[in-house]
Amino acid sequence: MDIVPARSDELKEFIAMKIEEGGMPKEKTRKEWEEVFGVNWFKVTLKKVDTEVGHPMEIQDIRTTLEALSTEGIC
């Protein structure tokens, strides 16, 4: 997880990408834009992990499965 500083070029690029992908409306008031750009954002990077566990929504006892993975050093 990283912090994207308010009013930074990185934040401007991120917001532009969100708008382009449809994840944020382009039309906002000046005050709304100031609120968007005036605060630090958190950037969370996810990484796909291949395991033999299967689809997580199909696991009946997810807690036990996650604990087993944790002891194996996967999680």
Q: Please give the mean pLDDT across all residues of the chain.
A: 85
Alpha-carbon Rg of the chain, whole angstroms? 19
Which pLDDT score, from 0 to 100, does residue 9 have?
Answer: 96
Q: Quick one: 40 and 69 in the same domain?
A: no
Phi and psi at residue 42, to the nearest 5°: -105, 135
Which pLDDT score, from 0 to 100, does residue 75 have?
Answer: 52
- 43 versus 71: the higher-pLDDT residue is 43
Domain count, the chain: 2
Q: Quick one: 21 and 57 in the same domain?
A: no
Candidates 38, 34, 36; CA nearest to 19 is 36
| Domain limits for position 8 | 1-44
pLDDT band at 29 (very low <50, low <70, confident <90, very high): very high
Angle at 19 between CA 11 and CA 32, to 5 degrees: 70
- 6 versus 24: the higher-pLDDT residue is 6
Q: Quick one: 30 and 58 in the same domain?
A: no
Which pLDDT score, from 0 to 100, does residue 59 have?
Answer: 73
Q: Quick one: 8 and 35 in the same domain?
A: yes
